[in-house]
Amino acid sequence: MAKQVKLKAEPRTEVGRSAARKLKARGVIPAIIYGGKEKPQPLQVAARDINAMMSHASGENILVELEIAGEKSNRTALVQEVQHSPIGGDILHLDFHAISMDETIQAEVPLEAVGIPNGVKNFGGLLEQSLRMLAIECLPSDLPDRITVDVSELNIGDSIHVREIQLPSGVTSKVPSELTAFSVLAPIVEEEPVVAEAEAAAAGPEVITEKKAEPEGAAIPPPAQKEKEQKK
């Protein structure tokens, strides 16, 4: 299940690019929390705390217990979006989505294949994964980091649909059950160009005639003289 981490934050009064640059110079990252019954609230968090949280995250869904300075109680939230710099990849901004631990949430979690399909191992087939993220609904405490699917029994032509995926307790799928998640395809066999070879063989070998050599010392008459001689 998704690990809940604690994170300290402070209210942020200044907004805009100029304020963001000043925060970055101080080693602080701007953020915002929205959702729930409260109005969206700008925050600021120490960059070292954010980097530590992201480096220890075991999945794409990070459950956070925010300790906001000046507030009596902590707030539970999901990291909704992380904005990175296109150069260097530094974190520029975070969005937190406030949630309640006793209310269901919707999220997308990665699907991962476990094992090597029999059709791949013994018959040279190809494993195709058609669904890499699965939209689910559950309580925050039941939110999984990822969902693993055993594909080792699949033979060529076999598939696993969403309805056949064993979901963790308390988790329900929010996508159509008939969608294909994994399948094993037959190996691709390249056909040899036998048609072109057969046509070449039917045409027979190319015959090259040798030009008769002129006798040594024989003069070659010019075209006009040659024509007069033919008239005689």
Measured CA distances, 220 to 137, 211, 216, 232 (Å):
98, 16, 11, 18
Q: State the pLDDT at residue 211.
A: 53
Q: State the pLDDT at residue 178.
A: 97
Q: State the pLDDT at residue 1.
A: 65
Check the CA dihedral 18-19-20-22 and report its sign.
Answer: positive
Check residues 135 and 191 and name the one with the higher pLDDT. Answer: 135
Q: State the pLDDT at residue 40.
A: 92
Band the pLDDT of 89: cuts 50, 70, 90. Answer: confident
- The pLDDT tens digits for 45-62 are 999 999 998 887 767 788
Strand 91-98 vs strand 28-34: parallel, antiparallel, or unpaired? parallel
Q: What is the C-alpha to C-alpha distance for residues 80 and 33, in angstroms, rounded to an integer?
A: 9
- Say how many C-beta atoms besides its own lie within 10 A of residue 127's C-beta: 16
Does 130 have pLDDT greater than 80? yes
Does 30 have pLDDT greater than 80? yes
Q: What is the C-alpha to C-alpha distance for residues 214 and 211, in angstroms, rounded to an integer?
A: 9
Are the beta carbons of 108 and 81 closer than 8 angstroms? no
Residue for token digits 């395809």?
185
Instruction: Report CA 153 to chain centroid distance, whole Å.
Output: 25
Q: State the pLDDT at residue 42.
A: 94
Check residues 201 and 70 and name the one with the higher pLDDT. Answer: 70
Closest CA to 2 of 181, 174, 175, 168: 168
